[in-house]
Amino acid sequence: MPRYSTFEIPAPQLGGNRTIRVYTPLSYEASTKSYPVLYMHDAQNLFDPRTSYIGKAWQISETLDELKLDILVIGVDHGEGEKRYDELCPWINRELQIQRPSAITRDVGGKGDQYLDFLVNALKPYVDKHYRTLPDAGHTAISGSSMGGLISLYCGIKRPDVYSRIAAFSSALRFSQKEFIDFIKGADVSAIKKIYMDIGTKEGDTPQLFDLYINTNQEAYDVLKEKLPADRLKFIIDEGAVHNEEAWARRFPHMIKWLLSDIIPK
């Protein structure tokens, strides 16, 4: 069974409260030490298949228990319906066209900075007060998939003083590719410790979408590799991988070991 706890926190930046799901490592209760923290999005899908919208989860708790990695995971539930797209994309998207998911009925996005404000100024202070964390940026990571990959890259690149380690799975950069590329071209990424990116070759339901996912992520990686040393950037193209929690769960162990290799002993 998945091992995690939950709490609710006021989220005035987003309206109402937000459910947070927390993984503590096996050593936590018997220890007095402090731990690195990984913040993740779409928490409904991280731990428990009963709360995941496709009935499959990342199996974060089982994986980290098996790896015996001493890290806290703070999962943020996404907003309901189209609010998820609003919160996890910093720019309003007016040109979805072929990539428009059938569930989207209007222009979406534009509230990424409010979401970042919630993470930095509401959630992180609460977590650092109530859990034994290593609160500095060098011990704080942020990660997600799809729209969660997009917002993870945005948050880490915009606030490397808070999150210096970024992991972006199957990022939906197609939602605001031009704006995102312009953003990273103008960003100072020198304080970022590591960025992990990946993409599958079968993401989406048409060959057109396969190419769109790969090309948009490849373009972002190409910009970043001109700004970061090779040992601080990793990009994986996973042959045959699709866009779902099973694929991300399979790649998660490799990601987390690489992302934290310099601060958590193997």
Give the per-residue pLDDT at 99: 46
Domains of the chain as residue ranges with CATH = 5-259 (3.40.50.1820)
Higher pLDDT residue, 150 or 107? 150
Among residues of the chain, what percentage have pLDDT more than 90? 83
Predicted confidence band at 105 (pLDDT cuts at 50, 70, 90)? low
Q: Over the stretch 57-97, which tens digit does the pLDDT of each residue have?
A: 899 999 999 999 999 999 999 998 889 999 999 998 755 53
3-state DSSP assignment of residue 84: helix
The pTM of this model reads: 0.95
Q: What is the mean pLDDT of the chain?
A: 93
Q: Are strands 233-238 and 5-10 parallel, antiparallel or unpaired?
A: unpaired
Averaged pLDDT for residues 175-180: 92
Sequence-distant (6+) residues with CB within 8 A of 266 are 257
How do the residues of the chain divide into helix, strand and coil, expressed in percent and rounded to 5? 40, 20, 45
